[in-house]
């Protein structure tokens, strides 16, 4: 390390000092390096203008921004989504993460539309300003996919549907937010108190979404201080100011060790991999016992299993406005896929939907815009395929538990 970090003020260009006086910010020193943390609202025109003005000052020799490589690629290459292989995304289990990323982006886009500014305009200003001035640019945030996976794993399984529901509810809401309200959020005390309340209500989410990223970005900034950087402008969301300042100042662990620790993939579910096969074995055993008692009971159990499992998967397809062939296919497949953990009903449904309604170039091109509204999620073929996968998977999962309970209801409630 270049030395202990501490908050402090040092001589700085008067123009820069005057600019910073109007915006939430922190200034910390690590040895000979001064880091200026500029707090921004990601859809605020004032934030984008502030970054442009600061970059033009010539004071800073290094720029750091709250982006990861994947988010930077998406920002610089908005057409990248059009090259997405949907089938591979679903097969690799990335569909929930893609859907969550779209929902998060859609919420930010909806706010940005109110003010005629593109989401992340302040990040673009920092990127292009660094390029024009030939300054090093550091991407200091953790990969968004890893952050979402760690957040999802941190929440108990029985709360995950509420998390997903709340995420999509934010997309469906049409309430407008005044620009002055966004600017008011940038006042440190109000924003910090908001996050403190959030932490109390959902500590599981606060840690991976906010606290871990604060520490991650602070570690990156401490690494910059170990190099040649002397005046660093770090453009981050206002909500991260206090956390980053604290970790830059107080964290004594080596930055590389911190980054390695926070880049680890979340642990898999604690249940052993053989658990799904045990569930299948129990259900099949129930069928065997039913037929052993009498054929009529066994047939009734099989019929209930088909109707419940296939019916609920089909309901998921109907809600997603899937093609009629897709709905029929998943209704037939779900009772079988639920007895084979190697393939899911959602995968079958998505494959059929892709075949019946192959997304067009225009669907990919308008995906980001379409997902800002509920209607768009269902009308865009790409997002609708994701909905088909998610909702039929959910329907089949519910069918497995409800159908299994029905089978054992027959066994223990029929009196033999």
pLDDT-based confidence at residue 416 (cuts at 50, 70, 90): very low
Q: Is 265 helix (H, G, I), strand (E, B) or coil?
A: coil
* For residues 374-394, average pLDDT: 88
> Which two tokens mark 117?
């500014």
pLDDT-based confidence at residue 331 (cuts at 50, 70, 90): very high
* For residues 220-231, average pLDDT: 92
The vertex-135 CA angle with 129 and 139, nearest 5°, equals 80
Reading across the β-sheet that carries 33-40, which strands appear in turn?
Answer: 5-7, 25-30, 33-40, 231-237, 62-65, 137-139
| 287 vs 90 pLDDT, higher one | 287
pLDDT-based confidence at residue 193 (cuts at 50, 70, 90): very low
Mind listing the pLDDT tens digit for each residue in 256-314?
Answer: 999 999 998 876 655 556 677 777 888 888 888 888 888 888 898 899 999 999 999 99
Strand pairing report for 25-30 and 33-40: antiparallel
- Please tell me the least confidently modeled range out of 3-12, 258-267, 290-299, 376-385: 3-12
The pLDDT of residue 58 is above 50: yes
The pLDDT of residue 318 is above 80: yes
Place of tokens 């538990």: 401
- Kindly compute the dihedral angle of the four CA atoms of residues 405, 386, 172, 186, in this order, to the nearest 10 degrees: 110
The pLDDT of residue 378 is above 50: yes
Q: Residue 30 pairs with which residues in a beta bridge?
A: 5, 33
Position 217 scores a pLDDT of 96
- Please tell me the least confidently modeled range out of 86-90, 120-124, 257-261: 86-90
**Radius of gyration (C-alpha) of the chain in whole angstroms:** 26
pLDDT-based confidence at residue 169 (cuts at 50, 70, 90): low
Position 48 scores a pLDDT of 83
Q: How many CB atoms lie within 10 A of CB 376?
A: 18
| Cut 0.95: pTM above it | no
* For residues 35-62, average pLDDT: 84
Please report, for residues 39, 61, 107, 180, 283, the alpha-carbon distance to residue 183 in angstroms, rounded to integers and kept in the order given: 11, 28, 17, 5, 57
Strand pairing report for 137-139 and 62-65: parallel
* For residues 119-138, average pLDDT: 88
The closest of 12, 9, 10, 40 to 24, measured between CA atoms, is 40
Position 208 scores a pLDDT of 85
**Per-domain boundaries in the chain:** 5-262, 275-413
Please report, for residues 49, 208, 224, 383, the alpha-carbon distance to residue 2 in angstroms, rounded to integers and kept in the order given: 32, 28, 10, 48
DSSP 8-state code for residue 305: H
The pLDDT of residue 189 is above 60: no
The closest of 403, 413, 152 to 284, measured between CA atoms, is 403
Please report, for residues 191, 311, 385, the alpha-carbon distance to residue 314 in angstroms, rounded to integers and kept in the order given: 44, 5, 14
The closest of 356, 350, 358, 357 to 333, measured between CA atoms, is 350
* For residues 244-250, average pLDDT: 93
Q: Is 13 helix (H, G, I), strand (E, B) or coil?
A: coil
CA dihedral sign, ordered 380, 385, 388, 394 = negative
d(CA 93, CA 105) in angstroms, rounded, equals 20
Strand pairing report for 33-40 and 231-237: parallel
d(CA 325, CA 307) in angstroms, rounded, equals 17
The pLDDT of residue 175 is above 60: no
| CB distance 62 to 224 below 8 Å | yes
Mean pLDDT of the chain, nearest integer: 80
């Amino acid at each position: 390390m270049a030395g202990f970090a501490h908050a402090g003020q040092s001589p700085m260009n008067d123009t820069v000092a005057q600019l910073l006086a109007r915006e939430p910010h922190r200034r910390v020193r690590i040895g000979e390096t001064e880091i200026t943390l500029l707090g921004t609202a990601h859809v605020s025109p004032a934030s984008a203008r502030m970054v442009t003005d600061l970059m033009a000052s010539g004071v800073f020799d290094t720029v750091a921004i709250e982006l990861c490589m994947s988010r930077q690629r998406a920002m610089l290459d908005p057409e990248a989504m059009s090259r997405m292989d949907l089938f591979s995304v679903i097969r690799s289990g990335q569909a929930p993460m893609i859907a969550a990323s779209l929902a998060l982006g859609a919420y930010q886009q909806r706010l940005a539309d109110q003010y005629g500014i593109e989401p992340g305009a302040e990040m673009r200003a920092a990127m292009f300003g660094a390029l024009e001035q030939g300054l090093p640019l550091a991407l200091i945030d953790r990969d968004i996919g890893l952050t979402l996976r760690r957040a999802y794993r941190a929440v108990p399984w029985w709360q995950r549907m509420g998390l997903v529901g709340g995420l999509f509810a934010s997309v469906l809401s049409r309430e407008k937010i005044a620009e002055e309200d966004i600017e008011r959020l940038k006042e440190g005390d109000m924003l910090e108190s908001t996050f403190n309340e959030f932490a109390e209500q959902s500590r599981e989410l606060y840690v991976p979404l906010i606290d871990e990223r604060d520490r991650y970005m602070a570690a990156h900034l401490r690494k910059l201080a170990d190099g040649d950087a002397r005046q660093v402008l770090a453009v981050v969301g206002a909500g991260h100011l206090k956390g980053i300042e604290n970790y830059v100042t107080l964290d004594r662990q080596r930055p590389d060790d911190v980054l390695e620790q926070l880049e680890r993939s979340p642990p898999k579910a604690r249940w052993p991999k053989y658990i799904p096969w045990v569930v299948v074995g129990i259900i099949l055993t129930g069928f065997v016992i039913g037929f052993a008692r009498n054929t009529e009971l066994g047939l009734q159990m099989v019929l209930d299993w088909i109707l419940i499992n296939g019916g609920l998967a089909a309901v998921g397809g109907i809600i997603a406005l899937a093609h009629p062939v897709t709905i029929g296919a998943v209704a037939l497949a779900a009772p079988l896929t639920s007895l084979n953990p190697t393939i899911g009903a959602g995968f079958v449904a998505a494959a059929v939907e892709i075949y019946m309604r192959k997304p067009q170039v225009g669907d990919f091109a308008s995906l980001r815009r379409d997902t800002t509204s509920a209607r768009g999620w269902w009308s865009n073929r790409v997002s609708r395929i994701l909905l088909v996968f998610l909702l039929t998977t959910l329907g089949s999962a519910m069918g497995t538990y409800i159908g299994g309970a029905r089978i054992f209801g027959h066994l223990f409630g029929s009196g033999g």
